[in-house]
Amino acid sequence: MRKTWVVCGMLVAGALGVALRAELRAPAGLNLADLATGRVVVRDLGYPVGPDSPVWPGSEPFVAHVVATPARQGYFARTVCLPEHFSTHLDAPAHFPGGHETVEQLDIRRFIVPAVVIDIETQVRQNADYRLSADDVRAWERRYGPIPAGVVVLLRTGWERRGAQPEQYRNRDARGVMHFPGYSVQAARLLIERHVVGLGIDTLSIDYGPSQQFEVHRLTLPAGLYHLENLRNLEGLPARGVWLMVAPLALEGGSGAPVRVLALVPQRVH
């Protein structure tokens, strides 16, 4: 979401306890041996980290400085500077008041988890400021079954189609207010009750564009959830049956970090 630290470097509680104690079974048909046969496909859900990555307005720019080349030093290396909340990234609970865990303090068991996908692209086509409602969540559950504890919820809005055009992605009006979809507070409360471990979205923020107080951040981060923002490649993911590998840069004291999010998708899952 917003910028905080700028990272430079050389490139060479209650509900969560329930979630972590939940027995997470691999969905039917998911076998890592099937990666070699193509029966399980790995999909990258993030943007590359570079000068064209999606970024919150006003954030520090991405800067890459070459410090060694094969011709001069015999190898290639750069120094890179970028905000913590840049491109596809993770928000740690410490990002907002009331949250405590920084990136490197998050339990790594929460980084290899099943995911459910809720699709609201139809609603977003009618209203760019649409927010996932509690009724939307209940409707999903009526169709696909209860959202189990210990999952990450991925909200597909279709907004990633704008990802290559920064101004369309931010979608600012004449007053500079951004307009894009997000989660509602009511839906977030319901998902906390379901003991999910994280929320993801294919926009700049878990909160919808016009938000000034970032109400969903202020609710979910103190509850111990993490966020995955600026996701992409969500189209075609099944509603259930996907597993995620979430790999943030383990920044000491970090409020967030760029993250690689990989989805393992069994090809027979519908």
Kindly report, residue by residue over 95-128, the tens digit of the pLDDT: 999 999 999 999 999 999 999 999 999 999 999 9
Give the pLDDT of residue 37: 84
* Domain membership flag for residue 71: no
pLDDT at residue 15 is higher than 50: no
Mean pLDDT, range 78-87, rounded to an integer = 95
pLDDT at residue 2 is higher than 70: no
* Integer Cα distance of 181 and 87 in angstroms: 18
Give the pLDDT of residue 8: 54
pLDDT at residue 7 is higher than 90: no
Task: Let me know if 68 is exposed, middle or buried by CB neighbors in 10 A (0-12, 13-18, 19+).
Answer: middle
CATH number for position 121? 3.50.30.50
Number of domains in the chain: 1
Domain span at 20: 16-51+91-266
Per-position DSSP letters for 105-134, written without gaps between them: GS-GGGGEEEEEEEE-HHHHHH-TT-EE-H
* Domain membership flag for residue 204: yes
* Domain membership flag for residue 3: no
The 10s digit of each residue's pLDDT in 38-63 is: 888 999 999 999 999 999 999 999 99
pTM, whole model, 2 decimals? Answer: 0.88
* Domain membership flag for residue 225: yes
* Domain membership flag for residue 191: yes
The 10s digit of each residue's pLDDT in 164-182 is: 999 999 999 999 999 999 9
Give the pLDDT of residue 30: 66
* Integer Cα distance of 26 and 199 in angstroms: 20
* Domain membership flag for residue 128: yes
* Domain membership flag for residue 219: yes
Please work out, in degrees rounded to the nearest 5, the angle formed at the alpha carbon of residue 252 by the alpha carbons of 152 and 3: 70
* Domain membership flag for residue 96: yes
pLDDT tier, 269 (very low <50, low <70, confident <90, very high otherwise): very low
CA distances from 192 to 157, 162, 176, 253 (A): 20, 29, 32, 25
